Amino acid sequence: MKNDLYAQRASNIRRTWALVAGFLAMAIAVGYAFSWYYQDSSILYFAVIAAIATNFYAFWASDKLVLSLNHARPATREEFFDFYTVTENLCITAGLPMPKLYVIDDPAPNAFATGRDEKHAVVCATTGLLALMTRAELEGVIGHELSHVKNRDILLMTVAVVLAGFVAILANLFLRLSFWGAGRRDDRNDNALLMILAVVGIILAPLAAKLIELAVSRRREYLADASSALLTRYPDGLASALRKIGGYAAPMRSANLATAHLFIGDPFGAKEGGGTSGWVERLFSTHPPIDDRIKALMGAR
């Protein structure tokens, strides 16, 4: 297992750089298409600068964006004593620096980790999770999130939020400019081509954003579950916590597609049918079925 964790950490770093490089290439390609069509090279320069700036922001400040999108606030030790002490104890065991702790005022039980590295990590939990979990269950959940920190999942998952949003913005801008038509070429064939590309772009934008989220493989959830079991030495705690999270039907008030893949459970609530979802739903899901995760945990005992 330890070798798998080191390999996964190195893989996450490589995937992050590949994701950033792919995004930069895509932005330059779109900028080139714009500059060619509108005969204005400044558009290409703007696209390159915007892509570099977005990558920089995604690396250094995307955790702040994620916390803002989910309306998180700092957690004080006095108000959330168990949250603090459980995290401190597990950080000592895992050899990790203490992350910043945040809470979301929401009755739905859930949690996520974000940040660019171990020294700048954030663990965030909902007030619903902190109220609903026993200490053993809370240890399982926090162990899962600290495992994401240790395995360097958080950088890739957090960068994906910003890049997915930028893809959608590019597609929307492309469509609006094609409708406005200001300064474009007069050739009808060119106009038709732009309209086709615009429609294709706007259709593929949500899919592209989803694929970026799915670049964070569902396998990482299984790995973080297993890592939490090793850290706490009590897989039953996380298994019990997952049952409670998976059984909560109501969605989070701040649930959104951009950050859904960060959470330990689906922030949109339990799906009808539990773990019996079809293969298409599983293919496009950001989380493995809860039942499958619990079976994997129980089989690892």
* pLDDT of the residue at 274: 47
Q: pLDDT band for 178, please (50, 70, 90 cuts).
A: low
| Residue 58 scores a pLDDT above 80 | no
* pLDDT of the residue at 62: 79
Domain ranges for the chain, please list them.
Answer: 69-154+218-299
123-144 pLDDT per residue, tens? 999 999 999 999 999 999 999 9
Q: What is the CATH code for 69-154+218-299? A: 3.30.2010.10
Query: Is residue 145 flagged as an active site residue?
Result: yes
| Residue 20 scores a pLDDT above 80 | no
Catalytic residue among 137, 145, 213, 221: 145
78-94 pLDDT per residue, tens? 999 999 999 999 999 99
What percent of the chain lies above the pLDDT cut of 90?
37
What percent of the chain lies above the pLDDT cut of 70?
66
Task: Kindly report the pTM of this predicted structure.
Answer: 0.76
- Mapping DSSP onto H, E and C, the string for the chain reads CHHHHHHHHHHHHHHHHHHHHHHHHHHHHHHHHHHHHHCCHHHHHHHHHHHHHHHHHHHHHHHHHHHHHCCEEECCCCCCHHHHHHHHHHHHHHCCCCCEEEEECCCCCCEEEECCCHHHCEEEEEHHHHHHCCHHHHHHHHHHHHHHHHCCHHHHHHHHHHHHHHHHHHHHHHHHHHHHCCCCCCCHHHHHHHHHHHHHHHHHHHHHHHHHHHCCCCHHHHHHHHHHHHHHCCHHHHHHHHHHHHHCCCCCCCCCCCCHHHECCCCCCCCCCCCCCCHHHHHCCCCCCHHHHHHHHHHCC
* pLDDT of the residue at 65: 87
Q: In whole numbers, what is the pLDDT of the chain averaged over residues?
A: 79
84 Cβ contact partners less than 8 Å away, ≥ 6 residues apart: 75, 77, 101
Ranked by mean pLDDT, the top range of 62-71, 184-193, 255-264 is: 62-71
229-252 pLDDT per residue, tens? 989 999 999 999 999 999 998 999
- Which of 7, 19, 53, 34 lies closest to 164 in space, CA to CA? 19
- Which of 231, 235, 178 lies closest to 201 in space, CA to CA? 178
